[in-house]
Amino acid sequence: MGSPKTRLNATIALALSGAMAIAGLATAAPSAAITTPANADAAAGWLAGEFVDGKIPSTWTPGTTDWGLTADAILALTSRKVAAGAAATATDALRDNVYDYISPAGGDSRSAGAVAKVALVAQVQGRDATTFHDVDLIANLSSLKSTTAPNVGRFRDNVAGSDYSGSFSQSLALLALSHWGSVPADAVQWLVGLQCANGGYPFSPDEATGHCASNADADNDATAMAIQALVASGVSGQPGVAAALEKAADFLAGVQASDGSFDAPPWQGANASTTGLVGQSMRLAGRTAVADRAADWLAGLQVDCTNAATGVGATARGAIAYDPAGLTAVLTTGVDNSNSDQLRRTTAQAILGLPGSDSYSAMSAAGSSASVPSLTCTQPRTAPLSPTVTGITYAASLKSATVATSASAGASVLFRVKKGSAGSWGAWNTAAAGSFLVPASKTARYVEVIARDGGNDSPAVTVLVQARNSSASRRGCQALGAVSITAPVAQRATATFAARAKACASWRLNGKGKWKTVKRGATSVNFAVKSAVGVNWEFRTGRRTVAISVRAPR
């Protein structure tokens, strides 16, 4: 708050901090923060921050990478067209380690779903799926397509002793081949034929028939993925597809909960992963009302400024929790090994169900932004925050003082003054540019300062201004001249003045204690302010003792 200007002015400027802070500086408690609900870009931004060197770490096997989740996260960022750099770096990492994902048993083993997902990632990221690292992913997919009844057209795993292929892997393969531009008719027909009688799709087919074994096997996630594939270019116009799409949409619309959510039967319950995937699929199928209700439910599970403006949950701001219990856990304990994996997986899939997210069949990195969106929480001002007294400047005569203040943006500063404790308060006046003049004499002036915004007034900050002479003298001593008192750190203050020609001036604090001599040549003294909320500083020199007081309530 300034240094001494010239010998014409005596400045007492208070850098009010710590024990030196004038009471009333404490601001009113902030009200709840506000934000826009269901911010899908911020969800993608949070997910982008989970990459480590382009990889999503595995929480199940520390020190390794979860390549499936890494691919899902790339697709989620591409869906929102944000964090282009993070998505590109992750695509490079997936390319360089492609066998770790598509070849689960090493050697020539192949997972149909993994090959299809990587082929989809490569193409939406603008890469050549035929030379991804040294793998021709399109040729790999073709080699996995069965020509044997009852699974003609099914993309099957080539892993000894296990085959997890089904609705998901088939749908991903059709989506990848749709981007490639050539979708085999028999692969489409196998997916159409897999549909259950009730319109849903099973996760896996009956091995004996290659079809849905029972309506009880209908799975919401699998049905949603099938819809994603059925609307894709090169698939949608093929025989039976339109009818299968309508039946699948009818099935999902019929199982939506009243709150807008979808569950993952039989035991997982309502969750944001399923609701996100189904929500987008229903939008693709033209069931906008169903999709909007799903999006509303997802919005209630986002970690945002309404529930994590501060606190341990703030590090997850933007992410979407799996379910209400998962959201409570994040807000209570933050993100740790117990919930980080679930939070990443859920956010990657829930993003799809929020309005404006591109589907698997439509997404492309072309035109994506490098920005990594985040939620910045701001506090609404129902009333202005209390003003801060930033300095008090005394005239050379010590007969007046200028009080300088600052207030929250948009608020004006008003003040009023009374002479002595028994005086009456004057009218409220506006402080031009935040500062105002107050008479200063032996009789104290009490000053109240408020901030006003839109008719709302803050609590008042109170200051006491006083300057007086005394009969004590130090004849022959250099006059005080300009003086500045500041408090650079809590409980410490510094008085600065013109260099002393003689060691005859002295000072003390709070009107008591021993007088301390100001050494010749000295331009400042330091003193402690242990408990006083303000300054009562005395300087004895020349023909008078000057006492200057600044006070405020604790």
Per-residue pLDDT of the chain in tens (554 residues, 90 and over written 9): 333 222 222 222 222 222 222 222 222 222 233 333 459 999 999 999 999 999 999 988 889 999 999 999 999 999 999 999 999 999 999 999 999 999 999 999 999 999 999 999 999 999 999 999 999 999 999 999 999 999 999 999 999 989 999 999 999 999 999 999 999 999 999 999 999 999 999 999 999 999 999 999 999 999 999 999 999 999 999 999 999 999 999 999 999 999 999 999 877 899 999 999 999 999 999 999 999 999 999 999 999 998 998 899 999 999 999 999 999 999 999 999 889 999 999 999 999 999 999 999 999 999 999 999 999 887 655 667 778 777 777 777 778 888 888 888 888 999 999 998 888 999 999 998 888 999 988 888 899 989 888 778 888 888 888 887 766 666 778 877 666 666 544 456 677 778 888 888 888 876 667 888 888 888 888 776 554 445 677 877 766 677 777 655 43
Q: Which of 109, 99, 15, 115 is nearest to 65 (CA)?
A: 99
Give 119's Cβ-side CA count (13 Å radius).
Answer: 30
Report CA-CA distances (Å) from 154 to 113, 120, 167, 184, 213. 11, 18, 9, 10, 16
pLDDT of the residue at 488: 45
Give the predicted TM-score (pTM) of the model: 0.66
pLDDT of the residue at 67: 97
pLDDT of the residue at 265: 83
pLDDT of the residue at 526: 79
SS3 content of the chain, % helix, strand, coil (to 5): 30, 20, 45
pLDDT of the residue at 472: 62
- Phi and psi for 467 in degrees, rounded to 5? -150, 130
Q: Is 552 helix (H, G, I), strand (E, B) or coil?
A: coil
pLDDT of the residue at 551: 59
The answer for residues whose C-beta is within 8 angstroms of residue 161's C-beta and 6 or more apart is none
The answer for residues whose C-beta is within 8 angstroms of residue 205's C-beta and 6 or more apart is 151, 154, 166, 194, 211, 212, 213
Bridge partners of 155? 145
Distance of CA 477 to the CA centre of its chain: 61
Tell me how far apart the alpha carbons of residues 18 and 29 are, in angstroms, rounded to a whole number.
19
Q: What is the dihedral of CA 519, 525, 526, 532, to 10 degrees?
A: 120
Asked if residues 284 and 271 have their Cβ atoms less than 8 Å apart, the reply is no
